[in-house]
Amino acid sequence: MPGQGHTIRVSGDRGKHVTFTVSGRVALDNLESFISETQARLREMIPASLTVDLAGVEYLDSAGALALMELESNARGRSVTFEFANLTGKAQGIMGLIDPQALIIPPLITERQTGNFLERLGEATLQVIDDYKRMLIFLGELLGALTHALFHPRAVRWQDVAFYMKRAGVDGLPIVGLISLLLGLILAFMSSLQLKQFGANIYVASLLAISIVKELGPIMTAILVAGRSGSAFAAEIGTMMVNEEVDALTTMGFSPVRFLAVPKVLATIIVVPLLTLYADFFGILGGLIVGIVGLDLTAYTYLKETQTSLSLMDLITSLIKAGVFAVIIAGIGCQRGFEVRGGAEAVGSATTSAVVAAIFLIIVTDSAFALVFQYLHI
């Protein structure tokens, strides 16, 4: 084995050019003494330029290479011109394995950002614009993947589509039914308090049917699915990003969007309209209970008035909304998942962002639908 220690010979004038000639071992077993000696010599000589001659180094491991790079960093931090001399190819290979940026330790507490209101507003606006661009890019990739699935249905992982249909649809039936039933009960009861004053109890059925089928059914179902399934999509893909499973898929030649996002989007597109019809049924059922118990209406009268107030176009527009909401929920969930960088905290942030962004876009889209249908007299 080479010598057990190291020697450092210093040559040159103090305050001018100085050379450290290192010989022996620069390794983990003598690392502490090497670092303390080089730092002491550096403070003592205060060189304008420093050359570290490694011609006599018999053994260098990764810990020694790290110490040499730390010496270089400290010297450059003192505005000292620094270079290595007689660096062997093997030593260069060992030092090349170390990332210099990893030696920079960020502060634990960053300074609080200052600036006036306009600066912060501008930064927030740029962030929103950047987020919007990333969403559009992912939307383009997703539409391309869905088009490919349309013309190549055998390439779709239908087993996964069925799995996500169960998770997003069947598993969500209890909560969607309960919320819709309670919503129908509350809406019918509150509207009856006003309509009873004019003897117009029968119109509770019309009011409830139109509001549930055209607006509340699709939007409440979409919000519930966004909270249950959209967040799950973001967390699932985000965890795969953290574990580098998505990178593995790319390495094996699979498209992550086609492999992961398309089954989720297709499953959501199928189940959200069905859940909307399911929610409409339970919402009307809640109103029927109030009508029979509190308004002295017969079931036939209530259901007949409901049938009269609704048209086929009302159901069609409700299902169109539900389909668009489904694309928003699944698309946002997958997009936020693919953007995860970091660890568990990043997954949590992406999950929260997916739910918030999906609900916001659902409400905005519903408002746009309301305006379009109003001008089209639908």
* 75: CATH: 3.30.750.24
Number of domains in the chain: 2
Residue 179 lies in a domain: yes
**What is the pLDDT at residue 199?**
79
97/168 same-domain check: no
Pull the structure tokens for residue 310: 């609704």
Residues, the chain, total?
Answer: 378
Residue where a domain stops, chosen among 103, 124, 139: 103
Average confidence (pLDDT) over 352-360 = 92
Pick from 39, 72, 103: which residue ends a domain?
A: 103
191 shares a domain with 254: yes
Residue 161's pLDDT band, with cuts at 50, 70 and 90, is very high
The stretch 239-245 carries a mean pLDDT of 88
User: Quick one: three-class SS letters along the chain?
Assistant: CCCCCEEEEEEECCCCEEEEEEEEEECHHHHHHHHHHHHHHHHHHCCCEEEEEEEEEEEECHHHHHHHHHHHHHHHHCCCEEEEECCCHHHHHHHHCCCHHHHCCCCCCCCCCCCCHHHHHHHHHHHHHHHHHHHHHHHHHHHHHHHHHHHCHHHCCHHHHHHHHHHHCHHHHHHHHHHHHHHHHHHHHHHHHHHHHHCCCCHHHHHHHHHHHHHHHHHHHHHHHHHHHHHHHHHHHHHHHHCCHHHHHHHCCCCHHHHHHHHHHHHHHHHHHHHHHHHHHHHHHHHHHHHHHHCCCCHHHHHHHHHHHCCHHHHHHHHHHHHHHHHHHHHHHHHHHHCCCCCHHHHHHHHHHHHHHHHHHHHHHHHHHHHHHHHCCC
Instruction: State residue 36's pLDDT score.
Output: 84
pLDDT in tens, 115-148: 678 888 888 898 888 888 888 898 888 899 999 9
185 plus 38 within the same structural domain: no
**Per residue in 5-31, pLDDT tens?**
778 888 888 878 888 888 888 887 777
| Domain-embedded: residue 263 | yes
The pLDDT value recorded for residue 100 is 61
Domain shared by 214 and 357, yes or no: yes
Indicate whether 78 and 158 sit together in one domain. Answer: no
Same domain, 87 and 164: no
Stretch among 8-12, 109-113, 120-124, 185-189 having the lowest mean pLDDT: 109-113
Residue 3: the pLDDT is: 42
97 lies in the same domain as 204: no
In a domain, 298, yes or no: yes
Confidence bin at 61 (pLDDT 50/70/90): confident
Residues 364, 274, single domain; the answer is yes
56: β partners: 23
Within a domain: 133: no
132, part of any domain: no
Percent of the chain with pLDDT over 90: 36
- For residue 19, list its beta bridge partners: 11, 51
Whether 151 and 208 have beta carbons less than 8 Å apart is answered as: no
Q: What is the pLDDT of residue 332?
A: 93
- 76 shares its domain with 179: no
Given a contact cutoff of 8 angstroms between Cβ atoms, the answer to whether 68 and 97 are in contact is: no
- 8 A C-beta contact, residue 226 and residue 330: no
Q: Is residue 74, in this structure, part of any structural domain at all?
A: yes
Whether 108 shows a pLDDT value over 80: the answer reads no
**Residue 219 placed within a domain:** yes
- Is there a single domain that holds both residue 248 and residue 344? yes
11: containing domain: 6-103
In a domain, 328, yes or no: yes
Q: How far apart are CA 126 and CA 134, in angstroms?
A: 12
Residue after which a domain boundary falls, among 79, 103, 127:
103
Q: Does one domain contain both 99 and 163? A: no
Model pLDDT for residues 306-355, shown as the tens digit of each residue: 999 988 998 999 999 999 999 999 999 999 999 888 778 888 888 999 99
Q: Give yes or no: residues 97 and 179 share one domain.
A: no
